């Protein structure tokens, strides 16, 4: 089976990605599984740029097809922060409990109609010759009023999905994979490009 190295060391993301790519005809392996340890500096200014930087670096390093995602949370009331800085927000090593409570605090007493937010994901697929393509998708929701749910990772416990009246941390991985930014971007990549490479 042809394989793709997915340039992430985030196990939460990898879990979702493996399920979505299960029927892609490709074996998708993480950096760790491929035996690669690479520290790639994400110095792009958009989700797309950062995804391309990560995927291209791994494709060049290995000579294999590589994929990467760059994703994040945009909170409209905070001028779309943390955005591309979502992982680094308040410091890379700061716990998500602290990050999530900081955002809840910022939005204390802010009415529902001003709590809109979205997760954004850009997926890049790159080959060793330096060719890269991207797909972007979002999921719209709002910032909840408290930490809720145990599933998922990152900002999931404060991100409310209106259609479910639940946070993405209260959805099962299968439910999240029906609607998430990452799932939609990966599915688009799978359908449009992977059959042709
Ligand atoms: P990246 O690894 O640079 O793409 O960092 C993305 C960061 O955005 C993650 O570490 C999370 O903080 C946040 N994020 C992206 N997607 C999700 C999601 O599906 N749920 C919760 N947080 C997410």
Q: From CA 157, how far away is CA 65, in angstroms rounded?
A: 33
Does residue 116's CB lie within 6 angstroms of at least one atom of ligand 1? Answer: no
Q: What is the pLDDT of residue 9?
A: 83
What 8-state DSSP symbol labels residue 81? E
Q: Are strands 81-82 and 132-143 parallel, antiparallel or unpaired?
A: unpaired
Q: What is the pLDDT of residue 157?
A: 98
Helices (H), 6-145: 11-21, 47-62, 96-106
pTM score over 0.85: yes
**70 is an active site residue:** yes
Q: C-alpha angle 123/128/131, rounded to 5°?
A: 55
Does residue 14's CB lie within 6 angstroms of at least one atom of ligand 1? Answer: no
Per residue of the chain (197 residues), what is the pLDDT tens digit?
889 999 988 888 898 899 999 988 899 999 999 999 888 888 999 999 999 999 999 999 999 999 999 999 999 999 999 999 999 999 999 999 999 999 999 999 999 999 999 999 999 999 999 899 999 999 999 999 999 999 999 999 999 999 999 999 999 999 999 999 999 999 999 988 776 65
Q: From CA 181, how far away is CA 120, in angstroms rounded?
A: 6
Rounded to the nearest angstrom, the distance between the alpha carbon of 150 and the centre of ligand 1 is 16
Rounded to the nearest angstrom, the distance between the alpha carbon of 154 and the centre of ligand 1 is 6
Catalytic residue among 23, 69, 70, 127: 70
Residue nearest to ligand 1 atom 3, measured at CA: 70
Q: For domain 2-196, which architecture applies? A: Alpha-Beta Complex (3.90)
Q: What is the pLDDT of residue 196?
A: 62
Residue extents of the structural domains in the chain: 2-196
Q: From CA 159, how far away is CA 128, in angstroms rounded?
A: 37
Q: From CA 59, how far away is CA 77, in angstroms rounded?
A: 38
Ligand 1 probe mutation, 17, 86, 150, most atoms within 8 A of CB: 86
Ligand 1 probe mutation, 13, 85, 154, 175, most atoms within 8 A of CB: 154
Q: From CA 69, how far away is CA 54, in angstroms rounded?
A: 8
Rounded to the nearest angstrom, the distance between the alpha carbon of 138 and the centre of ligand 1 is 12
């Amino acid at each position: 089976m042809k394989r793709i190295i997915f340039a992430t060391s985030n196990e939460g993301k990898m879990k979702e990605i493996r399920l979505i790519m299960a029927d892609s005809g490709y074996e998708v392996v993480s950096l760790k599984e491929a035996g690669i340890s690479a520290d790639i500096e994400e110095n792009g200014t958009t989700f797309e740029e950062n995804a391309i930087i990560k995927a291209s670096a791994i494709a060049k390093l290995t000579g294999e097809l590589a994929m990467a995602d760059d994703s994040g949370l945009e909170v409209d009331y905070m001028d779309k922060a943390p955005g591309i800085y979502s992982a680094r927000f308040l410091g890379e090593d700061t716990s998500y409990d602290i990050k999530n409570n900081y955002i809840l605090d910022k939005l204390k007493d802010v009415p529902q109609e001003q709590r809109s937010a979205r997760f954004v994901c850009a997926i890049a697929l790159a080959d060793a010759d330096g060719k890269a393509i991207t797909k972007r998708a979002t999921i719209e929701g709002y910032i909840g009023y408290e930490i809720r749910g145990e599933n998922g990772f990152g900002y999931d416990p404060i991100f409310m999905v209106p259609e479910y009246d639940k946070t993405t941390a209260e959805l099962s991985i299968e439910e999240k994979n029906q609607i998430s930014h990452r799932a939609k971007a990966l599915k688009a990549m799978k359908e449009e490009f992977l059959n042709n490479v």
